[in-house]
Amino acid sequence: MLLEISARKPFHCEPCRQPSEENSNTPHHGVVLIAAGAGIFSLVKAEGLPPYPLAEPDYSSKRQLDFSAFEAALSGLDPNRIAVMDTLVAEVTLLELQVLMNNGQFSAEELVTYYVQRIRAYDMDKLNSVLELNPEALAFARDLDVERAAGTVRSPMHGIPVLFKDNIATGEGMHTTAGAWAMRDWQPSRDAFLVSQLREAGAIVLGKTNLSEWANYMDVDMPNGFSVLGGQTRNPYGPYGTLGSSSGSAVAAAANFAAVTVGTETQGSIILPAKINGVVGLKTSRGLVSRDHILPLVDWMDVPGPIGRTVSDVAVMLSAMTDEDEKDLVTFDAVEVAGTDYTQFLVAENAVGKKLGIVVQDNAFIDQMIADFELGEDSASQFRQAMIQSNDKVRMQATPFVDIGIELVEVSAAAMPSTPDLSAFIDYGFRSALDAFLTDLSDEAPVRSLAEIVDINSADSDNRAPYGQGYLESAMKSPLTPDEYAAQVAESMSVADDLGSLFEAYALDVLLSDSQIYAATGFPALTVPAGYGEDGQPEGIILIGDFLGEDNLIIIGYAYEQATQARQMPDLDKTISEIDSMVNR
């Protein structure tokens, strides 16, 4: 039940395009304010916005995938072998892939070829989740196969193909673009620190994933999942949104175009795409994984994190990603857990006795909200009923945790800290961070500033910014001074103390909540598939952990996943046929 409220107090909509639980296809702007669950105001779609799936705009800048380095290998992968690989690889975990490769069922080279074959069959000009393939992937795979044959397996990531979001720098001739035309030719001279770590652990850089351009900060009218170089990313489960900005990373993992992927998040950009595309996504604690050489949005909030089909895969990936990095001094805040093997927390029984907080609207909170919005008698009655139903829904969602043996702790919505309003400072933060990043590149930089990017787009906006570049232009006009920005950041980051106090006051291990309060605090969050709606759209639960509390997130998330077994493979043939029929009619 939704109750539309006429907002009598100022309401600042957040440019991250937070979706509502009720309609998560929704672009952020052009919305009405509603009363939603967990005491949090959410957003629903206003009339007149285009539904998903969206057709490609009429433009000419989309980059085509290059399969030339893989043609010989692909020609040797006949349909019978593909069918065998489908059976062997579908839905298995990274740990199970290691067993299969150790047993000689297939090699890393064949695994790379298999994924490339799937990308060519189901992604190119279809789901649009992959922006570029690494022409050196097969060579790296062969070297790792030689190591395995000689008895050396570096880690559970050995020989595992990984796709990286295309704002994470990768060297060796690949591009890193953030999906933007102005960045189309940048070939970083080195890897981001996290990419180097995964390579050292034996991972294979398979390629780069599409994203919502500039981490979803291009224009209010640009759909989630679109970039001018990658086109419109589409949900592998059907005509639903993909959300953003790590759209391609979530879709590629869900569709089995790679074993695992890496995304980045400012606020919701890993968790929400993973949730709506039916996979597991982990937004890491700030400092746990290095942010080095990643194109920024709001640099003090941005963090990378793993996306996979299972909690097990995310734990394996995370174990290879954490370490101190002198190029990102915030990683020294996580020194106590650097190098942790997170697979040790994949024990469902360890969840018994853990405390899970659920956010409910008690009577005092409901009365206060009614007073704040000056609701009349009839509206107040409807609002109260909606909040009671919301509480029932939250308690129902928590039932599987009770069955596992986890203790539920009801947290008053009044105790939840308010999510900081990014719109007050995101323009300045984006411009400042991006300009600093480009300056640090020196002669390697493809462009020198955000101002230059805006000018380049304006020279051919139909093909370089087909939905406009309103956010970029707005960022150029930010009136904030450096001191004012620093004050805004400090105020937003102080919410971490409030959230930490909440965990302490209620003695929580994990909080079950759709709130994005975790983002500004630097706390971690995990989403795990929870099933599918009546229309087939994937659904998921979101767990928030205490700072550096990834261990508890993995323990509880894994126990939930094992108890529910909610994830199902998408039927890509059916989805692509359905989407084609809708966008071409």
List residues with catalytic annotation.
Answer: 165, 245, 269
Q: How many CB atoms lie within 10 A of CB 448?
A: 12
CB 166 within 8 A of CB 178: yes
- C-alpha pair distances (Å), 135 with each of 66, 353, 396: 8, 49, 49
What 502-505 contacts at long range (C-beta under 8 Å, 24+ apart), as own/partner pairs, is 502/357, 502/411, 502/415, 502/416, 502/417, 503/546, 505/415
Six token digits for residue 262: 């890496």
- Give the residues across from 294 on adjacent strands: 168
Q: What is the 3-state secondary structure (H, E, C) of 506-564?
A: CCCCEEECCCCHHHHHCCCEEEEEEEECCCCCEEEEEEEECCCCHHHHHHHHHHHHHHH
- Give the residues across from 262 on adjacent strands: 164, 306
**Cα–Cα distance between 157 and 164 in angstroms, integer?**
15
**Cα–Cα distance between 562 and 571 in angstroms, integer?**
22
- Give the residues across from 355 on adjacent strands: 407
User: Which residue intervals of 21-149 are DSSP H helices?
Assistant: 71-75, 79-89, 94-102, 108-118, 137-149
CB 310 within 8 A of CB 272: no
Q: Report helix, strand or coil for 123.
A: helix
**Cα–Cα distance between 578 and 267 in angstroms, integer?**
31
